[in-house]
Amino acid sequence: MKLVPTILPKYQLVPDFSLTLLFDKFRFYRLLAGNPDRNNAEGIYIRLVYSDERQEYCLQAVNYYRKQIFPYHVNDYHPFYVYYDSNYNFIRLRYDSGHHYAKVLTETGTIILTLCFPWHGYKIGKRFLALPYKTSFLNLNDDTLRSWWLQAGKPQFKLRTKFVDPWHEGLAMQGAVKGNFRDEVHCPLCNAVELLDTMELEDTIFRVCLECQNGHRFTAIYDAMSMNIMSLKDH
Ligand SMILES: [Zn+2]
């Protein structure tokens, strides 16, 4: 089988980088959330991506738990992306503030990032009652990403399009359509943006039937090989 690409061809993966990129800038805390279990492959997975066009790096980090307790589901993923200029100066942070909504921060000093129970979203600067977050930092390699995307059943990793493109414009949307890490699709009839949840997986094609906010039914298809997401009108 051909391997599913994990990044858009116009970006480069940076093979070696120092974790001081993170540790110089962030302090990690947790509020009622448990520490991840390294023996169960839980932890913060990271990789560094470079965009020639933008002259920016993006450190993609995703906190992985085997399960979330409420509402219960297996495989729980909460990303934060840290952007740097070509000299590794911090530019901005985009983080999952809960339910995969993307908030942005452009703070100059140290950032306190607190992982909160029960949905494992992040809050900034929240130290009250919080405990230091002890985690392993693991290499987010292609094999790991493919195993998350292509696992049997209904994969809970619904952050594919924004993973292959950490500069995806949907991450930065403001107003009524807030920035989001989730995959998104446009209704083929009215163009309304709908956010995707779990999708059925067949081979390397993800599929889900949806109804847009204006009551139009359609099918969203994500092809993990071409990395294209499309919407088809239902008959
Ligand atoms: Zn519609």
Three-state secondary structure string covering the chain: CCCCCCCCCCEEEECCCCCHHHHCCEEEEEECCCCCCHHHCCEEEEEEEEECCCCEEEEEEEEEEEEECCCCEEEEEEEEEEEEECCCCEEEEEEECCCCEEEEECCCCCEEEEEECCCCEEEECCCCCCEECCCCEEECCHHHHHHHHCCCCCCCCCCHHHHHCCCCHHHCCCCCCCCECCCEEECCCCCCEEECCCCEEECCEEEEEEECCCCCEEEEEEECCCCEEEEEECC
Amino acid at 25: K
With a cut of 80, say whether residue 205 has pLDDT above it. Answer: yes
Cα(42) to ligand 1 centroid in Å equals: 39
Cα(187) to ligand 1 centroid in Å equals: 5
Q: Give the pLDDT band (50/70/90) at residue 74.
A: low
pLDDT digits (tens, 9 = 90+) for 157-187: 889 999 999 999 999 887 767 899 999 999 9
Q: What is the pLDDT of residue 152?
A: 75
Q: What is the pLDDT of residue 150?
A: 85
Mean pLDDT over residues 11-26, rounded? 91
Q: Give the pLDDT band (50/70/90) at residue 49.
A: very high
Q: What is the pLDDT of residue 164?
A: 94
Q: What is the pLDDT of residue 71?
A: 59
CB 70 within 8 A of CB 76: no
Share of the chain above pLDDT 90, in %: 43
Cα(185) to ligand 1 centroid in Å equals: 11
Cα(219) to ligand 1 centroid in Å equals: 11
Cα(97) to ligand 1 centroid in Å equals: 27
Q: Give the pLDDT band (50/70/90) at residue 210.
A: very high
Cα(191) to ligand 1 centroid in Å equals: 6
Q: What is the pTM of this model?
A: 0.89
With a cut of 90, say whether residue 37 has pLDDT above it. Answer: no
